[in-house]
């Protein structure tokens, strides 16, 4: 069985990869930095935290 720390690292790094690919593609096509990706990521994090606290569960 894979230790949970490795799974956490894979999930976190894939999230950062998706965010950076989105920012890069937006900047390469429009030549304007668009920070809406970061805003959506922060909103998603707050919603996830709220749901976890509401149902008293874990993030996974």
* pLDDT for res 17: 94
Determine the pLDDT at residue 11.
87
Closest CA to 59 of 11, 18, 20, 17: 11
Longest dimension (CA), the chain: 45
Determine the pLDDT at residue 60: 65
What pLDDT score was predicted for residue 43? 94
Domain coordinates in residue numbering, the chain: 4-55
pLDDT of residue 2: 82
Q: Is the pTM of this model over 0.75?
A: no
Average pLDDT, 10 consecutive residues per value, the chain (60 residues): 88 91 92 87 91 82
């Amino acid at each position: 069985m894979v230790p949970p720390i490795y799974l956490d690292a894979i999930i976190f790094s894939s999230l950062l990869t998706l965010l950076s690919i989105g920012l890069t593609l937006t900047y390469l096509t429009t030549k304007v930095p668009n920070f809406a990706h970061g805003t959506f990521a922060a909103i998603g994090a707050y919603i996830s935290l709220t749901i976890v606290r509401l149902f008293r569960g874990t993030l996974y």
